Structure 1
């Protein structure tokens, strides 16, 4: 049985640690808010898929409790998912993705060389 937490809650105020971490492992950031219904749908997909991708580091960023990080990443809408690898932002996805599309994005991030 896999007891790995589906994602970590990011509470820092700087993107530097995330960028550095993405140099070691691919990182996915989910920018969300507790009051947003569509974000809960996306979070459910993250929870279901995360155990399939233990090589990804997945963070949830609550934009209400952490207003600095969304600004640093240029986030103006939630939910937004940011994919990072090798210290670089590879892709931004606005809105809710289907579970199938999210799985594909996770795999693509891992497959990049």
Structure 2
């Protein structure tokens, strides 16, 4: 794709105007595949960024489509933030027992859902 007047490169970042994105969408998407990301600008200000798909997310989606993973089960699992809230910092024992006991409790509670 030939760079249009309103496109610019700054370092490793490619910028494309909204107008050029509308007119040359296919070319811009090819550049995303090649360069990793493109910033979309309106009146010289960045308003969006287009990224290629995350490989880990693609693998997760493929596993769901193949029936290996159940998306409902994924939505019921603890996030890292939830685990940090539930577990004591640095593995220190709490009044409720050891860290191992707390993890076992959480896993059992998760199994009850």
TM above 0.5, one fold? no
More helix by share: 2
The TM-score, its normalising length taken from structure 2, stands at 0.21
More strand by share: 1
Larger radius of gyration, structure 1 or 2? 2
The TM-score, its normalising length taken from structure 1, stands at 0.21
